[in-house]
């Protein structure tokens, strides 16, 4: 039977919402599902993880060094833990998981499966390649363990009606001092989080300035939507990097997505393939975004979007 | 200080990928190949560090078949001083690539390893982290800013929450994100000069690497196609359409 170890990403004592989706993928593998929380004080995150349906046990590993979730520091502890009979090690496909898990896989001597989008069996998975323009089915060797990151847009979060036991454990390994956290500049926003929002409004290069982005924010606020952007909008400095949607930004799966003044490059589309409904507003009727949009409106965003916002 | 930069030959990012009808992979015949865009950024960063006097020698490295020589020539035109070609005609998965790259890094006694954060063919996003693990070195992935001082680097990273800054001791592994820099256009004299720069060749066996059991691809499929929707003429029509589907 499978015994799955999930790395329970947390920040400031709170469990990342990505973990409920990783548990969902783990349930498709079946077997025991354990979530390990590496934190300075993981009680809060551990309690949240214990409630996730399908989790059989939560391991809480408190250590001052774990405070910022640095890969070089967490990895040796995961490796030590993973050797205790786990058949699978899963992490979310967030920047945290992507940074950490290959470090674990290399130490275990396992080839990692990145961005699992479907679980076909305990060792068989679908994953995207070429910015999602092809999907490959891979068989991973069962030994030493199956190590995989989970593509969040592909799985629904499990509910929180569970009550798994929480066990405090210590993992005795020496930790390196060669990596030191300096700071995190996080954007505080009242708007729904991009990766879990059911509606997202994104703006592109056409916005022309950060000042003009207010037309995007106004529409988003009316719709209670999260706000995203194309790479061009981020590179031009209109919005911060954490708003980028696409192959190298965030992969999202909202019910409703607005692409405004975005041409629809394949790298951008890679981030919105799972959106249920795509609306495109662009002044160029030939823009590639219209080939994937469920509803397209050809027009100048600076007149169309304010009109839409006022009529909603 | 010596810097090692890995460059991978990949299908150009502008190519619209076609899946082979028998599901055995994607069409690569007659398709344009280029240097992985993230590796060009890594290369550009190394060159800028050399121009600032922080790096003294740049060594470009690739793993792949004979055609990868082109990739190395591009890296040499950017400003690498010499190159290492790890020759292997069959597909190399990230752990094997990382083992080979780690061996080259050790052999060269380099202080800094710059890689792309991901190769745009396999989209694995693993190799840099694996190299760092195998060598027990610090890593700073998804870098958007790198500052080198004596014995250490301060790196700004693009993470989901925003921008994270780390301080890491050298030697270290850094993987480049898109906003680290904008690679320069190559000039003809540099391309000509690159032709004369030395390339050393090794096999995986020379480096003591035996590929282990990797992932086995059984089938490659095209993603579900989105059908072209409808074009509405006015904002009112759009609102009516969205209301009709219960979306607003
Ligand atoms: C390796 C790699 C990774 C990448 N990763 C990403 C990624 O993750 N995400 C991403 O988005 N991109 C990514 N890109 C970049 C991508 O290729 C495109 O360059 C980018 O998406 C273009 O952004 P855009 O659509 O905003 O700009 P443009 O392509 O310049 O499009 C602007 C659009 O706005 C329209 N327009 C202009 N004015 C108006 C107006 N007044 N009203 C209405 N419409 C107007 C134009 O018709 C045009 O269609 C990546 C590229 C590479 C090489
Ligand atoms: N065969 C290869 N040759 C040279 N560099 C490689 C190779 N495979 C991976 N890399 C490097 O590792 C990075 C990440 O690749 P990946 O883990 O495959 O996404 C790439 O951007 C390259 O810098």
Q: Which of A91, A102, A263 to mutate to test the interface with B (most CBs of B within 10 A)?
A: A102
Bridge partners, residue B154, by sequence: B147, B167
Contact B129, B141 (CB under 8 A): yes
Closest CA to A288 of A254, A255, A259: A259
Closest CA to A84 of A54, A103, A59: A59
The per-residue pLDDT for range A250-278, each reduced to its tens digit, is 999 999 999 999 999 999 999 999 999 99
Residue B242 maps to a domain: no
Read off the tokens for A198: 């059911």
Half-sphere exposure for A194 (CA within 13 Å, toward CB): 26
Q: Distance between CA A256 and CA B83 in Å, rounded?
A: 49
Other beta carbons less than 10 A from residue A99's beta carbon: 28
Cβ of B121 below 6 Å from ligand 2: no
Contact B167, B49 (CB under 8 A): no
* CA distances to A131, A134, A156, B18, B219 from B25, in Å: 15, 9, 29, 9, 7
Residue B217 sits in a domain of what CATH number?
A: 3.40.50.620
Residue A241 CA to ligand 1 centre (angstroms): 14
| A94–B138 C-beta distance less than 8 A | no
**DSSP-H helix ranges across B140-199:** 188-194
Q: Which residues of B touch A248 (CB under 8 A)?
A: 117-118, 177-178
Contact A33, A26 (CB under 8 A): yes
Residues 91-130 of A with CB under 8 A from B: 94-96, 98-107, 109-115, 124, 128-130
Residue B38, min C-alpha distance to chain A (Å): 10
Residue B247 maps to a domain: no
Residue A195, min C-alpha distance to chain B (Å): 10
**pLDDT band at residue A187, thresholds of 50, 70 and 90?**
confident
Cβ of B120 below 6 Å from ligand 2: no
Q: What is the complex's ipTM, to 2 decimals?
A: 0.96
Predicted local distance difference test score (pLDDT) of residue B228: 81
List the single residue in B121, B160, B165 with the smallest CB-CB distance to A95: B160
Residue A175 touches chain B, beta carbons under 8 Å: no
Nearest CA in chain A to B92: A111
Q: Which residues of B touch A71 (CB under 8 A)?
A: 129, 139, 141
Cβ of B141 below 6 Å from ligand 2: no
Full residue range of the structural domain in which residue B163 is found: 2-221
List the single residue in A109, A140, A235 with the smallest CB-CB distance to B212: A109
Domains contained in chain A, CATH given: 3-168 (3.40.50.620), 199-311 (3.40.50.1220)
Q: Is A25 helix (H, G, I), strand (E, B) or coil?
A: helix
Cβ of B116 below 6 Å from ligand 1: no
> What DSSP state is assigned to residue A280?
E
Predicted local distance difference test score (pLDDT) of residue B12: 97
Predicted local distance difference test score (pLDDT) of residue B225: 87
- What average pLDDT is seen over chain A? 97
Contact A261, A206 (CB under 8 A): yes
Asked whether the predicted pLDDT for residue A188 surpasses 90, the reply is no
Q: Distance between CA B35 and CA A156 in Å, rounded?
A: 36
Q: Is A55 helix (H, G, I), strand (E, B) or coil?
A: coil
Q: Distance between CA B113 and CA B131 in Å, rounded?
A: 9
Q: Once rounded to an integer, what is the mean pLDDT over residues A29-57?
A: 98
Name the E strands within chain A. 3-7, 10-11, 14-15, 32-39, 57-62, 88-92, 112-116, 118-121, 124-129, 134-139, 146-150, 166-168, 179-186, 199-203, 226-229, 256-260, 277-282, 295-298
Return the minimum-mean-pLDDT range out of A31-40, A56-65, A186-195: A186-195
Q: Which of B92, B129, B130 to mutate to test the interface with A (most CBs of A within 10 A)?
A: B129
Q: Once rounded to an integer, what is the mean pLDDT over residues A280-298?
A: 97
Q: Which residues of A touch B93 (CB under 8 A)?
A: 111
Residues of chain B with pLDDT under 50: none
Q: Distance between CA A255 and CA A232 in Å, rounded?
A: 24
Q: Helix B127-134 and helix B94-108: axis angle, to 10°? A: 50
Q: Distance between CA B36 and CA A302 in Å, rounded?
A: 36
Q: Report which bound ligand comes closest to the CA of B123.
A: 2
Q: What are phi and psi of A114, to 5 degrees?
A: -95, 140
A181's CB contacts (< 8 A; 6+ apart) are A67, A68, A70, B164, B165, B166
Q: Which residues of A touch B11 (CB under 8 A)?
A: 130
Q: Which residues of A touch B26 (CB under 8 A)?
A: 129-130, 133-134
Contact B155, B164 (CB under 8 A): no
Cβ of B17 below 6 Å from ligand 1: no
Q: What are phi and psi of B140, to 5 degrees?
A: -135, 105
Predicted local distance difference test score (pLDDT) of residue B227: 81
Q: Which helix (H) or strand (E) holds B35?
A: strand B33-35
Residue A31, min C-alpha distance to chain B (Å): 22
By percentage, how much of chain A surpasses pLDDT 70? 100
Residue B109 maps to a domain: yes
Residue A103, min C-alpha distance to chain B (Å): 5
Q: Which residues of A touch B118 (CB under 8 A)?
A: 248
Residue A88, min C-alpha distance to chain B (Å): 15
- Edge to edge, the sheet with strand B82-87 lists A179-186, B162-169, B152-159, B139-149, B172-176, B112-116, B2-6, B57-64, B82-87, B199-203
| A186–B172 C-beta distance less than 8 A | no
Asked whether the predicted pLDDT for residue A119 surpasses 90, the reply is yes
Number of domains in chain B: 1
Return the minimum-mean-pLDDT range out of A190-194, A291-295, B55-59, B175-179: A190-194
Residue B101 maps to a domain: yes
- Ligand 2 atom showing the smallest separation from residue B61 Cα: 4
Place of tokens 């904002």: B235
Q: Distance between CA A119 and CA A113 in Å, rounded?
A: 11
Residue B171 maps to a domain: yes
Asked whether the predicted pLDDT for residue A189 surpasses 90, the reply is no
């Amino acid at each position: 039977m499978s015994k799955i170890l999930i790395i329970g990403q947390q920040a400031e004592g709170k469990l990342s919402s990505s973990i409920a989706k990783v548990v969902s993928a783990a349930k498709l593998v079946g077997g025991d599902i354990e979530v390990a929380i590496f934190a300075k004080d993981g009680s809060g995150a551990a309690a949240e993880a214990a409630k996730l349906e399908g989790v059989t046990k939560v391991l809480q590993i408190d250590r001052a060094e774990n405070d910022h979730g640095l890969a070089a520091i967490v990895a040796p502890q995961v490796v030590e833990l993973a050797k205790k009979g786990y058949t699978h090690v899963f992490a979310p496909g967030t920047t945290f998981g992507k940074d950490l898990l290959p470090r674990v896989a290399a130490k275990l001597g396992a080839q990692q499966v990145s961005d699992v989008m479907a679980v076909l069996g305990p060792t068989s998975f679908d994953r995207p390649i070429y910015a999602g323009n092809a999907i490959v089915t891979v068989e991973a060797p069962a030994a030493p363990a199956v190590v995989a990151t989970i593509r969040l847009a592909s799985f629904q979060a499990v509910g929180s009606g569970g009550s798994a036991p929480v066990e405090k454990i210590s993992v005795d390994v020496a930790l390196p001092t060669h990596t030191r956290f300096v700071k995190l500049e996080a954007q505080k926003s009242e708007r729904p989080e991009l990766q879990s929002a059911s509606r997202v409004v994104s703006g592109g290069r056409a916005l022309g300035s950060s000042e003009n982005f207010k037309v995007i924010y106004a529409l988003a606020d009316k719709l209670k939507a999260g706000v995203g952007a194309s790479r061009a909008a981020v590179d031009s400095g209109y919005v911060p990097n954490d708003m980028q949607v696409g192959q190298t930004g965030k992969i999202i799966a909202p019910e409703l997505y607005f692409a405004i003044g975005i041409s629809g490059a394949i790298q951008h589309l890679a981030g919105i393939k799972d959106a249920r409904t795509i609306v495109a507003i662009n002044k160029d009727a030939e823009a590639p975004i219209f080939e994937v949009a469920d509803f397209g409106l050809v027009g100048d965003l600076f007149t169309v979007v304010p009109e839409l916002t006022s009529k909603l | 200080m010596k810097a090692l930069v890995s460059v991978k030959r990949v299908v150009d990012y502008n190519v619209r990928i076609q899946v082979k009808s028998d599901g055995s992979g994607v069409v690569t015949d007659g398709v344009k190949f280029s240097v992985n865009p993230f590796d060009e950024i890594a290369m550009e960063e190394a060159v800028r560090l050399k121009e600032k006097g922080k790096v003294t020698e740049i060594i470009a490295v690739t793993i792949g078949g004979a055609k990868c020589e082109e990739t190395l020539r591009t890296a040499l035109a950017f400003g690498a001083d010499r190159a290492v070609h790890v020759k292997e005609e069959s597909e190399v998965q990230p752990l094997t690539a990382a083992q080979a790259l780690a061996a080259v890094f050790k052999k060269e006694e380099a202080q800094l390893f710059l890689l792309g954060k991901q190769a745009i063919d396999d989209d694995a996003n693993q190799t840099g982290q694996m190299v760092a693990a195998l060598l027990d070195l610090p890593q700073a992935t998804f870098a958007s800013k790198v500052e080198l001082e004596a014995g250490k680097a301060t790196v700004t990273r693009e993470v989901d929450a925003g921008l994270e800054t780390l301080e890491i001791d050298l030697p270290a592994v850094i993987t480049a994100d898109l906003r680290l820099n904008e690679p320069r256009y190559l000039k003809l004299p540099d391309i000509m000069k690159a032709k004369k720069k030395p390339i050393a060749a090794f096999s995986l066996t020379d480096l003591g690497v035996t590929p282990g059991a990797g992932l086995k691809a059984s089938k490659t499929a095209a993603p579900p196609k989105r059908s072209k929707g409808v074009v509405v003429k006015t904002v009112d029509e759009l609102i009516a359409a969205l209301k009709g589907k219960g979306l607003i």
